[in-house]
A and B are shown apart, each in its own frame.
Chain A
């Protein structure tokens, strides 16, 4: 797939602080790309740079074939941005907010009414279109902001902490909308988040940012394989063979970390990495232990993130 975003050695400094530091990556067309990092890691600054809102200190970037610094207006006509705060005019109605932005995004005059009605219906806001946004819940404001970002049918959508501050149900609703809209319309989504569960569920690939620097890039599965160094595995063996199994597992100090436990009948061992599973299984089988079930606990981005964070803190 073609790259829709190409970033090369991008740096942006604010006086003493370097918000984005030598960032290089590519985002492919049609993917949901997660941009992970703690608050202040440089995610929002990157979105601003990629849309030509602020200028880089050094480095280069191409977004949808444009240089954001040179062709900012042309580029922004083809991108949509959902900012961290909904950024809606709360004294205006939902309809007014959308119709003003339809003009700003150049939605053809004859299509404005229909497009707004479609989006309000899609985002479940049609009944309250004539109410001032100030009276909306945070979830409704976020949905309206997402509708606004989609008014002009952008090819590339930037979501900056789209579900930040939302309750679980509202967050789930917004995530569903994002996924449906991205998959159905084959839209590229650049999603800044520090919600790792959300990123794991939605993103095709993720980049992890620490203090403005890229520290990891890949699919969630690749990253967990690469970075998770502790993996809990549940092993079910014949009851009378548990002591034998424990003995075998204790004899594998390089692979099995700590003492195996037996919380609910099954044995739970922590192994050093995913690739050790066949060796552990082989050792049990060679010692005539009948293994009924071996289930590695799914490693997740949260573990990846904390591993990377600990490494970075160690470096600092």
Chain B
């Protein structure tokens, strides 16, 4: 493997993406809203009772929702006061599955730009005439999306750790975040997730005419994660350490499957639509 060529393609893809506002805005805005703005709104909500339109009745409804949560969560919040339960419920429990969307979204956007966007801008052909092998090209394209997704997710996580603890400090009076489930999620599940977006994007890129086309075709990969979000919110499932670990195993296996499928049908000629 020619790593110099691989890093050149990664450098090129990331530089091009960083110059594209249409691609960068969602990559910056989504984590900012989910992991900086939302935690502050959530922790400020109790103090907004009867001021900002949130009534005590609304908080009672949240309490009712918490009461219906699985036993694992009930154990986790045992001993907390109601305001603390509110903070833990939203910041630790509810937002966990949302976090999984970020690496998936980033990798899909970058892969769509890197494969279909490059075809649309007619810059792919020059790349195909270089001495890179199909395998090097495939690895480079995967790594650029993968690395970017992990960096964005880790930066988002650090921001969220700071924001969640700062926002929840008035209720919790200690550093309460991250817990073990989140650590397993960040270091085991999050690194696996970009593989899903990338694997799907490799498969759809040959058919897509441009970035938007590829992104729309590939965005279906977010659906299983949305199911996890709804499962967690509705209390159907609970993100325990074991469940998150198993989730990681399943995602890594799917990655392997998608990437091996993608690598088998990845031919430089196909990127030209030939």
Contact = CB atoms under 8 A, between A and B. Distances in A.
Interface size class of B (residues with CB under 8 A): 20 to 34
Interface residues of A, number: 31
B15 interface: yes
A179 interface: no
Contacts of B9: 100, 104
Contacts of A53: 128-129, 268-269, 272, 274
Given A89-B16, A104-B9, A104-B131, A145 B126 contact: yes
Given A51-B129, A87-B125, A104 B8 contact: yes
The residue in A76, A85, A103, A104 that gathers the most chain B C-beta atoms within 10 A of its C-beta is A104
A218 to B, nearest CB: 29
B12 interface: yes
Contact of B5 (A54, A55, A83, A104): A104
Contacts of B16: 89, 91-92
A73 interface: yes
A227 interface: no
Nearest to B268: A53
Contacts, number: 84
Nearest to B273: A14
Interface string B4-31: 1101110110011001100000000000
A89, A105, A106, A145: residue with the most chain B Cβ atoms closer than 10 Å: A89
Interface in B16-61: 16, 19-20
Nearest to A75: B131
B123 interface: yes
B123 A88 contact: yes
Contact of A76 (B124, B131, B274): B131
Given A100-B12, A148-B126, A55 B269 contact: yes
A288 B126 CA distance: 66
Interface in A48-83: 48, 51, 53-55, 72-74, 76-77, 79, 81, 83
Given A53-B268, A54-B269, A73 B19 contact: no
Interface in B133-182: 133
A136 interface: no
B123 to A, nearest CB: 5
Nearest to B9: A104
A52 B131 CA distance: 10
Nearest to A52: B268
B122 A103 contact: no
B121 interface: yes
Given A54-B269, A55-B269, A103-B4, A85 B131 contact: no
B5 A106 contact: yes
Given A53-B129, A76-B130, A104-B130, 15 more contacts: A14-B274, A48-B274, A72-B133, A73-B133, A77-B131, A81-B129, A85-B125, A87-B122, A91-B20, A101-B8, A101-B126, A103-B4, A103-B5, A103-B7, A104-B127
Q: What are the 7 closest A-B residue pairs judged by CB atoms, nearest first? A: A103-B8, A91-B19, A87-B126, A54-B269, A77-B131, A81-B129, A104-B130
Interface of B: 2, 4-5, 7-9, 11-12, 15-16, 19-20, 121-133, 268-269, 272, 274
